[in-house]
Structure 1
C-alpha cells in the first residue's frame, strides 16, 4: 500500500523489503502535466482574486456574515495545512530509510519551532520599528505645535493624539494599522509561498499511476488555501496595488513549481537525501509559520481581542461552523496529500 509525497514513495503494510534510494524511471505524461499547470493557475487565480475584488468593487463588507464565514474557514484551512499536511509530510520525509538513522529525533518539531519563532520575531521587530517611528513623529509634531500657534479644534486634536501616543501604545496600532497589516500579510504569504512551490513539484513528479489523485487534491488545496489568504488580504488595511501583488504571488507560485518539476522530471530523485532534507526543512518551517498565522493572526486576533469577542450569536455560530469546516475538510484531504 504505497503513496507519494514530494516524489518519495511511502509504503505501509506487507513485508518490509529493501529498496534502492537511487532515481527510478517512471512513466510521465508531459502534455497532461502542462495542461494541469494551467488548470492550477486558473484555480489559484479564482480563489485568491475573487474575495479581494468582490470587497473592492461590490458591497460585500469585510465585517459581514459572508466574509466572517470565509475568513474563519480560511483559518481552519491554515491550521490544518500546518499540522495535517506539512508536519505530517515532513515527518514522513525524515523517516525515510534513505536518510538512515537520525541522531536527533525531534528534527521536525525543531524546525516547526524555528518557523514559529521566526514569525514572532518578524512581527515583533515590525511593531517596534513602527512604534519607534510613530513616537519620533509625535515628538516632532508636539514640538512644532508649541513653536507654531495652531487654532481651534484641529490644534486640540493634534495635541490629544500626541499625548495618547506617548502614554498608550494602542493608538500606535490604530495610527499605523496599514504598516502592521502589511507585516502580518507578508508573514502569512511567505509561509504559504514557501511550501506552495514544492506542492507544484510534488504534483508533477508523481508518476502517472497516482497523478490523477494528487492533482485532484491539489486543486482543492489551492482553492481553499487561496480563499484563506485572500480573506486576510482583503481585510488588511493596505493599498489595492499591494493586494494585487500579494494575490499575483500566490497565483503564480504553484504553477512555477510545476514548471520546475516538468523541467527536471527525468533528473528528479525524491529519495535523494539532499532532496529530502530540502523539502523536509521547508515543510517544517512553513508549518511553524502557518501555525503562528492561524492561531495568533487569524484566531486570537479575531476571537480574543477582535470583533468576534462581542459578536452576535449568529456571527459566532457562523464563524465557529466555518472554522470547524475548514479544519475537517483539509484534514480529510490530508489522507491523499
Structure 2
C-alpha cells in the first residue's frame, strides 16, 4: 500500500441522500430488534408464544458468538495487519494478544467481583450461586438454561413471621442475596453490551464512507437487527426488581443508538477521515480485538457453558427441547456467519 493511500482521504461521496437515510433505517431496525423482546415479554398487549421467546434467546446466543469470531476477530487481524502500520505491529500477532488480554481481564474482573460478593454474603450466613444453578439456595430457576415458565421476581423473598432477631438477620441476608444476584445480572449484560457497542459504532463509521455502500447497507440492516435481537432477548430475561426495571429499556435504547451515531460521525468527518490510515487501522483493530475478547468470553462462558454444560435444568430437559435450543443457537451463528461474507 502506498504512502498516498495510507495518508490521503479517498472516501466515496456517492449516495449521499441514502447514506443519511441509513441513519434512520438502521436506528429503526436495531432498536426494534433490541426493544421488541423486552416490551413483548412484559406487555399484556402482545400475546407472544413462549416458544418465540426461547427461539430469540438461543438464536441470539449464536449471533453473539458468530459476531465475536466473524465480525470482530477477523477485522481485527485485517486492521492490525495493515501495510500502513509500522514494523512494530508486524513483529507480533497483536490481534490475538489483545483479544486474549481482554478475555483474561474480563475473567479476573468477574472472578474477584464474585469472590468479594460471596465473602460478604457468607458473613451474613448466606450461600448462593450468582449464576442461579443452585436452585435451592437461589430460590428461582436458572436464568440461563431451557427453563419452565416462571413469574418474574419483582420483590426480594420474605421470611415468614417469627420471633427473635434471627428473623431480621435472615431477612436482611435474603434481601442482600437477592440484590447481589440482580447486580450480577446487570454487570453481565452490561459487559456484553459494552462489547457490542464498540463494534456497532465502528461499523456505522465504516458504512458512512464505504464505496460498496448499497451491499453493506442491506447487510447491516439484517446484521444490526439480529444482533439487537440477541441482546434484547438477554435483557428481556433479566430478573430485576421494580426499581431496576428501567435497566432493560436503557440497554436496548443505547444499543439502538450506537450504529446511527457512528454513521452520523462518519458523515460529519467524511472529508477528513481515512479508514485506511495507520491511526484508524490501529484504533479500529484494537477496539475490535477488545470487543472480540469480551464477546468470546461472554458467549462461550456466560451463555453457552452456563446455559447447557453447567445448568441442571438443561441436564434434565427433554431431549427434543434441548436439541431445539441447540438448533436455534446454531441457526443464529450460521446466519450471522453468512452475513460475514459481505460485512
Q: Shorter-chain-normalised TM-score: which range? A: 0.7 to 0.9
2:321 maps to 315
* C-alpha contact 2:308 2:315 (8 A) present in aligned 1: yes
* C-alpha contact 1:203 1:214 (8 A) present in aligned 2: yes
CA displacement, residues 149-205 of structure 1 (integer Å, 9 cap, x when unaligned): x9737976667789x99xxxxx98666321110110111010111111111101111
Show structure 2 runs of 5+ residues with no match: 127-159
2:162 maps to 152
Pair 1:53-2:44 in alignment: no
With over 3 angstroms needed to count, the CA separation of the structure-2 counterparts of 1:321 and 1:303, relative to structure 1, is same
Question: 2:291 and 2:285 mapped to 1: Cα distance?
Answer: 10
Question: 1:79 and 1:256 mapped to 2: Cα distance?
Answer: 24
Pair 1:245-2:250 in alignment: yes
Greater C-alpha radius of gyration: 1
Question: 1:133 and 1:28 mapped to 2: Cα distance?
Answer: 59
2:280 maps to 275
1:20 maps to 5
**Worse-superposed segment, 214-223 or 310-319:** 310-319
Which of the residues 197, 200, 205 maps onto 1:201? 205
With the length of structure 2 as denominator, give the TM-score of the two structures.
0.80
Displacement after TM superposition at 1:317 (Å): 1.9
2:224 maps to 222
1:93 maps to 79
Pair 1:260-2:252 in alignment: no
Question: 2:206 and 2:245 mapped to 1: Cα distance?
Answer: 32
Question: 2:45 and 2:118 mapped to 1: Cα distance?
Answer: 34
With over 3 angstroms needed to count, the CA separation of the structure-2 counterparts of 1:302 and 1:154, relative to structure 1, is farther
Displacement after TM superposition at 1:117 (Å): 1.5
Pair 1:29-2:35 in alignment: no
Question: 1:304 and 1:172 mapped to 2: Cα distance?
Answer: 28
1:235 maps to 237
2:51 maps to 65
With the length of structure 1 as denominator, give the TM-score of the two structures.
0.81
Secondary structure of 1:176's aligned partner: helix
Secondary structure of 1:99's aligned partner: coil
Q: Counterparts in 2 of 1:66-145, with a 5 A limit?
A: 66-101=52-87, 102-137=89-124
* C-alpha contact 1:61 1:67 (8 A) present in aligned 2: no
